Structure 1
Amino acid sequence: MSAPTTIPPTAATPAQGSPPAPPPGSALLGPAASGLAVLLAGSATGAVVEGLGWLGYAALAVVVTAATGGLLLAVRPWLAAPGQLVALVLLGTGLFTGSGVFGVLPGPAALDELATLLGGAGTQIDAGIPPVAATPEILLLVTLGFGALTIAVFGLAVTIGAPAAAGVPLLVVFAVPVALQSDLLPWWSLVAAAAGFGVLLLLRPDRLRQAPAGVAVVAVAVAGALLVGTATTAVGTAGRFDAAGGAGAGGGADGSIGLSPFTSLRGQLTRSEPRELFRVRGMENPSYLRALTLQTYVPQEGWTAGRPRPGIPLTGPLPPSTTGPATEQTVQVENLGFRDYWLPVFGDPTAIDVGPDGWAYDAEGGIAYSERPREEDGWSQSMRLPEPSAEQLRTASGPVTVDSAYLDATGVDPRVAQIARDVSAAAANPFDRAMAIENHFTGPDSLFSYSLATAPGAGDDALVDFLTVGRTGYCEQYASAMAVMLRAVDIPARVAVGFTAGTDGADGRTISTENAHAWVEAWFPGYGWMTFDPTPLTDGQTIEPGYVQQAQEQDGGTPAQEQPAPEPAPAPPADGGDAAPEPPPPAEAQPGTTAGTGSLWGPLIVVAALVAGLVLLALSPGLWRRRQYARRAGIARAGGTGAAAAAWEEILAASRDHGVPVPPEDTVRAAAARITDRHDLSGRPAEALAELAERVEASWYGGVLPGPETLDGLVDEVRTAIAAGGASLRSRMLPPSVVPSAGRGRAAEADQADPAAARD
């Protein structure tokens, strides 16, 4: 008997006991799953960034980092994370800087640009309220954030093979909008997060045979998230005061609510598109609309919002907090888009009809509040608008019956207190001291000016710098400074945050985010809280009470104007201690920081050039195409010489990228007809292309140069319509328009005739 023949294993006959070969393309599942999970979990970013433009940048960052990781994982697993980091840096440089070496390598100039953008993003986050505008600074932050998250998720789920652990970084990206957005997140954010984590667990080669059962489990989880989300949407910071005990708990900074009121204030003032908030009817005398008051001043930090005191329900008459002469009014407030813990009120409320329940009124603080953000359709309010005369306030006397916290100036920088005493030295009574301090900021001899460009900050150092060096700011700085100075000269004071009276119209007064404001309220015995506004506004929005106008007319409230010497008074404190010259060093420190950043990235650039060659080959054509478009669009937008050539060259490039090259011998009209027909353009895009062709001919052959912002809109309309037809993956990775060709059509001829025409 012959021995059995041993047949060596082949591809068709695998060795017994060896695992089956993975399905074709399964190596792509891990990178794809990690990227998809990041995008789904990060969808909650839409709650804190305006529009959907950020999604494209997030998706590009995810695709680039996930694809880079997949390519390098097959070479050496340890190369994946460093290579992904390099690819992310190159991507950020190519998208957000104009000085990268070869467009994508981050040289010193590009690093400076990135550092400036990131610094600007921090400022916008500090000063903005969600959703923030999708500025280049914010988009850079989104790009880097999603890219870094993809690196972390990819490393855990794919490189290490622990997809369950990747849920931790996914939770981080989901938690950021929760921390920043006071409103509850939408129901779909829960569903997207659950689906993303499920995809991460399922799409692995070693899990494919368990896919049916896994899909069922994930489907149940997603359905549960959908049920919870639509029933309660119990995600976010809304409805929760920081301190326990309900609205009746004690006040104090430890019970602060939500975002800084000044952050919200600045965010409203700097909105790219103002939003209408209220329409008020029946307002005879304009008055500030107060949302909340700030009682506590914290050294080195500034004014903070504390928990309101125990209030009474807004279901009946309210005890007035002022006495003396007053005008009584009743107004109707229509809510056009305001939702918050606070119900804004005018003057000294005596009754507020806002609905069945949920609101309370803190009479001493002068604020109406709720335990959770609400958006009422509207309400009516009866009020007293105090009208004491300047003389009555000058002679006001009696014990201080308000909380002593309104006099607390503990920890205030001695230089600030000295300035307050110098400014009010000639005043004989508290009212004249208050007027002297207000006139220090708003009087005809004042050195102060209004600007929203000033960086936020109301801590002691920032306050000293504002009073002695900068002297430029917006209402936050002015109200903060005056309230501290009033307390320094023994006048009870607080900062009020709300809105100016808005714009008068046929249908009442309209108040918008542009009217967000802060002012000062000072307390006088026998009269209560009186309004003072030290902000030197020039838009006519300042409301001057009768007693302020009387004092100014009598010139009895302008001792600050009679003694210009106090203006240089800050100099002696600076001489007396070396602490005063401290403001300049921070400005000097910024270049040092940038230089340090450049030296830190120097070695990384060398490594990037060596490690990311493959990534550069894959990404450079697409990035270069974007750069072409940005350059041409800028020239077209500017108008004048070269604008027509740049606009037409971009249309030819877009058509070529989407499969319809235009022969060089085509005339402008023939090219336009070819593009219209082959891309099936109709309606407005076809009209836009025809109009663009006419303007190009008029420029090239008639000498009629296009004006600014006349071509770029037409180009974008046509490009968008052409792109709607789709493009192959190869065309996206290697756009045909960036590949040199025999000719460049009519735009090339125009370039020869017009040396200033657009060049790539």
Structure 2
Amino acid sequence: MHATDRSGIAVAVSVMLATFALTPLTKDSSFLGVSWVVIIALGVVAVLMRRARLSAPAVLVAQLLLLGVVLVALSLTMPAPAAPWYEHFFGLYGAGAEHMRTQASPMDPDNGVKLIFVSAIGVIAVMTDLLVSGIRRPVWAIAPPATLFLVPAIGLGTDTGLISFGCLAVGYLGILVAEGLNSTARWTRGLSRDSAEGMGTAAPVVWRSAGYIAVPAVVLTVALGVIMPTLSLPGWGLGSGQGGSGPLELADPTLDLRRNLNQPTDRQVMSYTTDRPGGVYLRMASLPKFSDAGWQVATIRLDRGDQLPAVPGLRQEPAKRRTTTITVGDFRSEYLPLPYAPRRIQVAGQWGSDEQSLVVHSTRSGSGIRNLTYTVESVDIDPSGEDLAQASAGTPTDSALTSVVPNDLPDSLVKLTRQVTANAPTPALKAAAIQAYLRSARFTYSTEPQPGTGYQALENFLLKDRRGYCEQFAGSMAMMARVVGIPSRVAVGFLPGDRQGDTFKVSVRDMHAWPELYFSGFGWVRFEPTPAVASAPSWTVRGPSDAGEDPTSRPSSTSPTQRASAGPNPTVAPTQGPTTGDSTAGFPWRKTLTGSGIALLVLLILASPATIRIRRRSARMADGLMPDERVEAAWAEIKDTLVDLGGSWPEGSPRMIGTEVATRLHQDKSATLTQVATLVERARYSRSFDDPASVQNINQMTDEIRRGLAEPRSGWQRLWAFVAPRSLFRGLFRARD
């Protein structure tokens, strides 16, 4: 088999295996078969052109042209309006990008997304082939396929699992093994042995080296992956993945919100009963981070246990608790829908709560709320309008997230906020003014996606088209509240739903977003700026006599009235003591032993190159070899020592090589090298070379030459040559001898 054939097959298999990493992103797996055909076609073209000895640039251009033709042909097989082919082709990319922006993973099937996936995979196949066979840098070939693994790993923020990582690792190891076999296949006899990259039939050596280095590396990567948010081993209780108790980066719940509000048909997803009047908002996630990227979740720490931490900022918890029993149907999420503020939950499975937001999230990979029934005790945060109007804006313990106004926030948004709240004397009345402004006839509720992202989307919504759905209304109010000094965040969950007898039915289109604002003594208080969806909370628009209004009632057409208080009554939010997470009694033996094992594994992997190099030297210097074999082994050891120290092995006959390398040694060492070079010529070209006496001191001569080569080098160079000997990786880094 030609070397180019072996490399081409390895590249194709590697990229094909890496494509499995994209399957969590879409429900349509048909892109796999199409992309594999594209990968094979690109590989065949590359192999044939390299057999014809065409240049690397020519191969690259041919592959790109073929990829373009295949993508255009693929687009023509997809349903199209009456438009030229090029408009249809680029239109599919635009439609696919919009579909990816508005859909949560796994996305519904879409031709544009399929074309984007196949295009990306084709480009990655071309780049990988270029690195391996074009510019002869196979060790870098991990980078392009790794992007297919990183896209879902970073974008989803959840465990991608071991299978996709294993496919990536196996494909990369295949490329390295193929390159090692190619290197050893270049060896020929005689003079060319000095300039070849390997010695003899070394396929067993290649496979052993791959095992020595690759297997520990894969094991280490998997072990380290346990502490990453995108790869975990269930049941170990380690790190920041969904099996650990460390910081957890959650997925973006606004994508689920957008997708569910745009479902073609409505359907019931859960029901609940409660022992107090009226329905309740079922809160799932909290978005405290605000920037040009919009409102986002923050890294949180989950503490296990059915008793939840203290309610942030609430001065006095009501004695009366609400008990709600919730039954979830065909709805998938790893957030637990709960009334705010939850105090105690009875739920099967492994769950953890965040002390800042009281969000409850699964701590076990693959666990969720589908077909789950659970009970929660909660307290209602329902202050009177009069008391709230007198409250000051508090300072939550996470104010570094919830009080920050970005420096790059457009002045137009700040100016609008000042105008809306100009006549409101207290923080709560400023919040009520913002809510009334957004609920006014100026704005129209619409679930149709509007153009723009980040600050641009806010400017479009507040200053131009004034059309949007709950995400825009909630995000705008939370932003405006921060401008006037009120800490804020956005909550995502469900509206109370429709009451049928004693049961409330919640549908997929009841998914909703609303702002929560922080006030001294009350903590986080819900507001409702979205018109035509739900009534504004009673404490934001009326006096204490209406505090018990049913939040499931529809909004009235009258404008909210603001009640000015006699004056603010500044109070300080109570300081919360630290809450304790899930812990077990006794010394954490499992984590300690696991950590020690990982540390030991790291040391073993770091020591493996030096260990392999020492074993190779010992084998070369061993007794029992024939005289000519001892000479060749000594010559190979001198060559590897020079390469390890950063030198280059010259080309030519042994005498020419000895003469050139001897110039880098002291006089006594150069004479010794000349003697060894002469022995090499005799061993290779004489009719017989079986005199043991002539090679009796070959090991001592070799050690003397090795010391002479190392003497001019610095201590760091000698240490690096020992820890990471380049001669072991000559085939990977293409160090020309």
| Band of TM-score, shorter chain | 0.5 to 0.7
Instruction: Answer yes or no: is the 8 Å Cα contact 1:57–1:139 preserved in 2.
Output: no
- Post-superposition shift, 1:231? 10
In the alignment, the residues of structure 1 paired with residue 127 and residue 301 of structure 2 have an alpha-carbon distance, to the nearest angstrom, of: 46
CA shift in 2, pair 1:222/1:126, >3 Å: farther
Count of residues in correspondence between the two structures: 514
CA shift in 2, pair 1:527/1:174, >3 Å: closer
Instruction: Answer yes or no: is the 8 Å Cα contact 1:291–1:343 preserved in 2.
Output: yes
- Post-superposition shift, 1:458? 3.4
Residue 449 (str. 1) matches residue 445 (str. 2) = yes
Instruction: Answer yes or no: is the 8 Å Cα contact 2:391–2:428 preserved in 1.
Output: no
Residue 420 (str. 1) matches residue 412 (str. 2) = no
CA shift in 2, pair 1:317/1:179, >3 Å: closer
Instruction: Answer yes or no: is the 8 Å Cα contact 1:70–1:80 preserved in 2.
Output: no
- What is residue 286 of structure 1 aligned with on the other side? 279
In the alignment, the residues of structure 2 paired with residue 150 and residue 326 of structure 1 have an alpha-carbon distance, to the nearest angstrom, of: 64
Instruction: Answer yes or no: is the 8 Å Cα contact 1:287–1:543 preserved in 2.
Output: no
In the alignment, the residues of structure 1 paired with residue 166 and residue 406 of structure 2 have an alpha-carbon distance, to the nearest angstrom, of: 50
- Post-superposition shift, 1:82? 0.5
The CA deviation string for residues 705-744 of structure 1, in whole angstroms up to 9 with x for no partner, is xxxxxxxxxxxxxxxxxxxxxxxxxxxxxxxxxxxxxxxx
Residue 520 (str. 1) matches residue 498 (str. 2) = no
Residue 66 (str. 1) matches residue 69 (str. 2) = no
Instruction: Answer yes or no: is the 8 Å Cα contact 2:393–2:487 preserved in 1.
Output: no
1:44-55 pair list within 5 angstroms: 44-55=21-32
CA shift in 2, pair 1:502/1:37, >3 Å: farther
CA shift in 2, pair 1:256/1:319, >3 Å: closer
1:111-150 pair list within 5 angstroms: 111-150=86-125
- Post-superposition shift, 1:85? 0.2
CA shift in 2, pair 1:554/1:515, >3 Å: closer
Instruction: Answer yes or no: is the 8 Å Cα contact 1:313–1:361 preserved in 2.
Output: no
1:553-632 pair list within 5 angstroms: 555=558, 557=560
- What is residue 330 of structure 1 aligned with on the other side? 323
Structure 2 counterpart SS, 1:166: helix
The code of the aligned residue for 1:360 comes to S
Residue 348 (str. 1) matches residue 348 (str. 2) = no
CA shift in 2, pair 1:425/1:48, >3 Å: same
The code of the aligned residue for 1:385 comes to D
In the alignment, the residues of structure 2 paired with residue 274 and residue 55 of structure 1 have an alpha-carbon distance, to the nearest angstrom, of: 32
CA shift in 2, pair 1:485/1:225, >3 Å: same
Which of 456, 461, 481 is 1:486 aligned to?
Answer: 481
CA shift in 2, pair 1:498/1:329, >3 Å: same
- What is residue 749 of structure 1 aligned with on the other side? none
In the alignment, the residues of structure 2 paired with residue 333 and residue 228 of structure 1 have an alpha-carbon distance, to the nearest angstrom, of: 43
When Rg is computed on C-alpha atoms for both structures, the one with the higher figure is: 2
The code of the aligned residue for 1:89 comes to G
CA shift in 2, pair 1:63/1:513, >3 Å: farther
TM-score, reference length from structure 2: 0.58
- What is residue 545 of structure 1 aligned with on the other side? 537
The CA deviation string for residues 332-371 of structure 1, in whole angstroms up to 9 with x for no partner, is 234555454x544212223223469762342x53434577
The CA deviation string for residues 240-291 of structure 1, in whole angstroms up to 9 with x for no partner, is 9889xx979xxxxxx8824445445435545789897655344763222222
- Post-superposition shift, 1:184? 2.2
The CA deviation string for residues 310-337 of structure 1, in whole angstroms up to 9 with x for no partner, is 9785337855855698974212234555
- What is residue 84 of structure 1 aligned with on the other side? 63
Of 312-321 and 78-87, deviating more is 312-321
Provide structure 2 residue ranges, at least 5 long, that are not aligned to the other structure: 186-200, 233-237, 544-554, 564-737
Alignment RMSD = 4.8
Structure possessing the higher relative contact order (Cα contacts under 8 Å, 6 or more residues apart): 2
CA shift in 2, pair 1:71/1:410, >3 Å: closer
The code of the aligned residue for 1:381 comes to V
In the alignment, the residues of structure 1 paired with residue 339 and residue 483 of structure 2 have an alpha-carbon distance, to the nearest angstrom, of: 28
- Post-superposition shift, 1:515? 3.9
CA shift in 2, pair 1:194/1:219, >3 Å: farther
CA shift in 2, pair 1:169/1:282, >3 Å: same
Residue 458 (str. 1) matches residue 451 (str. 2) = no
CA shift in 2, pair 1:317/1:213, >3 Å: closer
CA shift in 2, pair 1:497/1:65, >3 Å: same
CA shift in 2, pair 1:111/1:392, >3 Å: same
- What is residue 435 of structure 1 aligned with on the other side? 432
Instruction: Answer yes or no: is the 8 Å Cα contact 1:93–1:114 preserved in 2.
Output: yes
Which of 268, 284, 295 is 2:288 aligned to?
Answer: 295
- What is residue 266 of structure 1 aligned with on the other side? 258
- What is residue 681 of structure 1 aligned with on the other side? none
In the alignment, the residues of structure 1 paired with residue 87 and residue 15 of structure 2 have an alpha-carbon distance, to the nearest angstrom, of: 29
The code of the aligned residue for 1:87 comes to L
Structure 2 counterpart SS, 1:519: strand
- Post-superposition shift, 1:534? 1.7
In the alignment, the residues of structure 2 paired with residue 326 and residue 414 of structure 1 have an alpha-carbon distance, to the nearest angstrom, of: 45
CA shift in 2, pair 1:263/1:225, >3 Å: farther
In the alignment, the residues of structure 2 paired with residue 427 and residue 273 of structure 1 have an alpha-carbon distance, to the nearest angstrom, of: 42
Instruction: Answer yes or no: is the 8 Å Cα contact 2:517–2:525 preserved in 1.
Output: yes
Structure 1 counterpart SS, 2:493: strand
In the alignment, the residues of structure 1 paired with residue 326 and residue 115 of structure 2 have an alpha-carbon distance, to the nearest angstrom, of: 41
CA shift in 2, pair 1:356/1:181, >3 Å: closer
In the alignment, the residues of structure 1 paired with residue 76 and residue 137 of structure 2 have an alpha-carbon distance, to the nearest angstrom, of: 36
The code of the aligned residue for 1:437 comes to I
Residue 359 (str. 1) matches residue 347 (str. 2) = no
The CA deviation string for residues 3-56 of structure 1, in whole angstroms up to 9 with x for no partner, is xxxxxxxxxxxxxxxxxxx59xx9765544432221112212112232321112
1:119-268 pair list within 5 angstroms: 119-159=94-134, 163-200=138-175, 234=226, 237=230, 257-263=249-255, 265-266=257-258
In the alignment, the residues of structure 2 paired with residue 487 and residue 236 of structure 1 have an alpha-carbon distance, to the nearest angstrom, of: 30
The code of the aligned residue for 1:346 comes to P
TM-score, reference length from structure 1: 0.56
CA shift in 2, pair 1:383/1:216, >3 Å: same
- Post-superposition shift, 1:485? 1.8
CA shift in 2, pair 1:274/1:145, >3 Å: farther
- Post-superposition shift, 1:65? 1.6
1:686-701 pair list within 5 angstroms: none
CA shift in 2, pair 1:256/1:543, >3 Å: farther
Residue 379 (str. 1) matches residue 370 (str. 2) = no
The code of the aligned residue for 1:47 comes to P
The code of the aligned residue for 1:305 comes to V
Provide structure 1 residue ranges, at least 5 long, that are not aligned to the other structure: 1-21, 249-254, 561-760
Task: Using the aligned pairs only, state the percent identity.
Answer: 23
Structure 2 counterpart SS, 1:385: coil
In the alignment, the residues of structure 2 paired with residue 399 and residue 196 of structure 1 have an alpha-carbon distance, to the nearest angstrom, of: 56
- Post-superposition shift, 1:382? 0.6
- Post-superposition shift, 1:132? 2.7
In the alignment, the residues of structure 1 paired with residue 413 and residue 486 of structure 2 have an alpha-carbon distance, to the nearest angstrom, of: 15
In the alignment, the residues of structure 1 paired with residue 404 and residue 272 of structure 2 have an alpha-carbon distance, to the nearest angstrom, of: 36
- Post-superposition shift, 1:62? 1.0
Instruction: Answer yes or no: is the 8 Å Cα contact 2:308–2:342 preserved in 1.
Output: no
